[in-house]
């Protein structure tokens, strides 16, 4: 008799539900932390000129040396630190897990946090431990230390700022975790363009620290380009399981081009930060709505009890897509998450939410 999925597929995979991405909507899309700004026409033309020269019949440079060199310079990666590229930072999370996974090994995260850590733990056969965040979604240092003692995690992931809560964990708590952890600590800085805080400069002090970044939230979500900075003796090991041409020639050339024009993206990030402050104020002024302070390009907010699903659906009916997190985690009951969009998109969102309340 031939195998069926329930006899052949690992139970941990059978128990997962696929990462859900809603169908594209016409209207206002504020659900996926995308940068709402398009490139100026002159930049688009220049970019297309560069792509014209690409030899797409040839394999790309497997090590993407030029792109990594550019990243090192413009992002200020410390001397002596290595850089590894991934097809999105998700792929780098997967590479780290694949390099350490063995039966009984643990990935530990304070939660609620980014769902891919748990999905990738399941995919690589690792145990996933969620340590509840404390008040205001801050790290509970004592709970973290006792969980570290108990599970001796191979890897701890700390999203900084955290997704979906938007806050920054206290840097002192992270330093304590770095000192205390028996394994690797990955500080995931996907939202770095929207905050001044970073652990890049701490790489020189902690051998077990890895800093994960992506160009997605900065404005290149369609490219799929993530990068990991850390001690070369760690990265050399991860590099062995990287598929040889994971960064396409189009990604490499486009990434280099974008980094040559980083100031365009930095200006957009500044505008998004200003818009974030306005959006936060507007949410705060709505009766029954409590937004969480955010250092990212989105805001988590709690709505009156039992109304998250209904409000999410009403907004969708008016052509505005945000993310409903109610039911995704015990500490996100009644929570919705909105990405900071263009000024007029944010205004339409606030207006629709006010009407729906």
Ligand X SMILES: *Cc1c(COP(=O)(O)O)cnc(C)c1O
Judged by the rule CB under 6 A, the positions of this chain that interact with ligand X are 33, 88-90, 114, 159, 163, 188, 190, 214, 216, 221, 226
Cβ of 323: how many Cβ atoms within 10 Å? 20
Q: How far is the CB of 222 from ligand X (least distance, A)?
A: 10
Q: How far is the CB of 154 from ligand X (least distance, A)?
A: 19
Q: How far is the CB of 34 from ligand X (least distance, A)?
A: 10
Cβ distance to ligand X smaller for residue 276 or 350: 276
Cβ distance to ligand X smaller for residue 254 or 348: 254
Q: How far is the CB of 211 from ligand X (least distance, A)?
A: 12
122, 16 Cβ separation under 8 angstroms: yes
Q: How far is the CB of 248 from ligand X (least distance, A)?
A: 15
Cβ distance to ligand X smaller for residue 81 or 339: 339
Cβ distance to ligand X smaller for residue 194 or 352: 194
Q: At what angle do helices 262-284 and 249-260 cross, to 10 degrees?
A: 80
Instruction: Determine the residue with CB nearest ligand X.
Output: 88
279, 301 Cβ separation under 8 angstroms: no
Dmax (CA) for the chain in angstroms is 63
Cβ distance to ligand X smaller for residue 97 or 350: 97
Please, what is the end-to-end C-alpha distance for the chain in angstroms? 57
Cβ distance to ligand X smaller for residue 33 or 308: 33
Q: How far is the CB of 103 from ligand X (least distance, A)?
A: 26
Q: How far is the CB of 258 from ligand X (least distance, A)?
A: 14
Q: At what angle do helices 89-100 and 115-123 cross, to 10 degrees?
A: 40
Q: Which residues contact 298 (CB under 8 A, 6 or more apart)?
A: 33, 163, 164, 166, 337, 338, 339, 340
Q: Which of 352, 203, 215, 214 is nearest to 289 (CA)?
A: 352
Cβ distance to ligand X smaller for residue 323 or 352: 323
3-state secondary structure of 330: helix
**Residue 106 to residue 171: CA distance in whole angstroms:** 23
């Amino acid at each position: 008799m031939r195998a069926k999925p329930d006899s052949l597929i690992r139970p941990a995979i059978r128990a997962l539900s696929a990462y859900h991405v809603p169908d594209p909507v016409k209207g206002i899309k504020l659900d996926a932390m995308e940068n709402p700004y398009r490139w100026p026409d002159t930049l688009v033309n220049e970019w297309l000129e560069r792509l014209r020269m690409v030899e797409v019949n040839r394999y790309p440079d497997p090590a993407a040396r030029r792109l990594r060199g550019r990243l090192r310079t413009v992002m200020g990666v410390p001397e002596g630190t290595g850089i590894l590229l991934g097809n999105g930072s998700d792929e780098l999370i997967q590479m780290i897990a694949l390099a350490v996974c063995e039966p009984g090994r643990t990935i530990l995260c304070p939660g609620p946090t980014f769902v891919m850590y748990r999905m990738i733990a399941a995919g690589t056969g690792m145990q996933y431990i969620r340590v509840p965040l404390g008040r205001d979604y801050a790290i509970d240092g004592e709970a973290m230390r006792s969980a570290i003692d108990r599970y001796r995690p191979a890897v701890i992931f700390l999203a900084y700022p955290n997704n979906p809560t938007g806050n920054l964990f206290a840097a002192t708590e992270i330093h304590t975790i770095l000192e205390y952890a028996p394994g690797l600590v990955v500080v995931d800085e996907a939202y770095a363009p929207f905050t001044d805080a970073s652990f890049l400069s701490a790489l020189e002090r902690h051998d077990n620290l890895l800093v994960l970044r992506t160009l997605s939230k900065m404005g290149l979500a369609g490219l799929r380009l993530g990068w990991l900075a850390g001690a070369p003796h760690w990265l050399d090991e991860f590099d062995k399981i990287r598929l040889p041409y994971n960064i396409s020639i189009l990604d490499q050339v486009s990434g280099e081009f974008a980094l040559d024009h980083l100031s365009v993206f930095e200006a957009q990030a500044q505008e998004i930060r200003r818009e974030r402050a306005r959006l936060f104020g507007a949410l705060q002024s709505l009766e029954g709505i409590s937004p969480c302070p955010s250092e990212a390009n989105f805001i988590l907010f709690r709505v009156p009890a039992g109304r998250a699903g209904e409000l999410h659906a009403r907004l969708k009916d008016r052509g505005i897509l945000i993310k409903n997190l109610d039911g995704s985690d015990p500490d996100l009951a009644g929570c919705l998450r909105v990405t900071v969009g263009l000024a007029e998109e944010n205004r339409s969102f606030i207006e629709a939410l006010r009407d729906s309340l």
